[in-house]
Chains A and B, each alone.
Chain A
Amino acid sequence: EVQLVESGGGLVKPGGSLRLSCVASGFTFRTYFMSWVRQAPGKGLEWVASIGSTSTPNTHYADSVKGRFTVSRDNARNSVFLQMNILRAEDTAVYYCARGAVGANTGSDYWGQGTLVTVSS
């Protein structure tokens, strides 16, 4: 059974940092793109970042987080991470980890339960 479990969310002050983790199981992790998607309170879904598989280890970021967020993966630990720096109030959202790339041909077919990030003083 495919499972994605996020952790690392919480309350952080503006300008602070947070690192989200997503541990995957039930599939060959290293062969899949992985994505981070967020939903702010009362807003729609927003793609945040994606990282390629071992064979295509490229990363892409939404303009809203470029230069502040970094996506990475550790295939030995079946994990993907999102390092979030210089956090702003508008980064407050539930963050989801997803298998695959949300807009690619095969889409993101499995999702974690989400972890809440609150940026507030």
Chain B
Amino acid sequence: QSVVTQPPSVSGTPGQRVTISCSGSPSNIGSKTVNWYQKFPETAPKLLIYANTQRPSGVPDRFSGSKSGTSASLDISGLQSEDEADYYCATWDDSLKIHVFGTGTEVIVL
């Protein structure tokens, strides 16, 4: 059981904006930065957002991250069919001394 939780799935139609939440505690999200990874079946994860809000080069600007208190969010604006994938937040837990992935969220494009 992860100490960081995400909704199992979110859905939207093409062009819509969807938000994926990532809920933790003071020992992880509350005091550490959050990264987001995109994962397609049979392929390696891809870093989408690091340090809460930063996009690596090549990541479209319709992906954005934010953090407030013990929660973080990933927004996908202008949803596209190719965004259909699993998304994971990740952070460090200072009490457990471990890196932790969130439970993962499947984005479904209707």
Least CB distance, B85 to chain A, in whole angstroms: 12
Residues of A within 8 A of B92 (CB): 101, 103-104
A109 & B45 in contact (Cβ 8 Å cutoff): no
Indicate if B101 sits at the interface (CB-CB under 8 A): yes
Q: How many residues of B contact A (CB 8 A)?
A: 28
Which residues from 88 to 121 on chain A have a C-beta closer than 8 Å to any C-beta of chain B? 96, 98, 101-109, 111-114
**Interface magnitude class on chain A:** 20 to 34
Q: Chain B, 31-57, contact with A by CB distance < 8 Å: what is the 0/1 string?
A: 011010101000011110011000010
Q: With the chains together, A107 CA to B59 CA distance in Å?
A: 14
Q: Chain A, 35-57, contact with B by CB distance < 8 Å: what is the 0/1 string?
A: 10101000011110010000000
Residues of B within 8 A of A46 (CB): 101
Indicate if B66 sits at the interface (CB-CB under 8 A): no
Indicate if A1 sits at the interface (CB-CB under 8 A): no
Residues of A within 8 A of B109 (CB): none
| Chain B interface, DSSP helix/strand/loop, else mixed | strand
Q: With the chains together, A47 CA to B33 CA distance in Å?
A: 16
Q: Chain B, 92-110, contact with A by CB distance < 8 Å: what is the 0/1 string?
A: 1100111111111000000
Binding site for B on A (CB under 8 A): 35, 37, 39, 44-47, 50, 60-63, 96, 98, 101-109, 111-114
Binding site for A on B (CB under 8 A): 2, 32-33, 35, 37, 39, 44-47, 50-51, 56, 86, 88, 90-93, 96-104
Given contacts A45-B45, A105-B50, 6 further A-B contacts (CB under 8 A): A44-B88, A103-B90, A104-B99, A107-B35, A109-B56, A112-B44
Q: What are 27 A-B interface contacts by the 8 Å CB criterion?
A: A37-B101, A44-B2, A44-B88, A44-B102, A44-B104, A45-B88, A47-B90, A47-B101, A62-B98, A96-B45, A101-B99, A102-B99, A103-B32, A103-B90, A103-B91, A104-B33, A104-B35, A105-B33, A106-B51, A107-B50, A108-B35, A108-B37, A108-B45, A108-B47, A109-B50, A113-B44, A114-B44
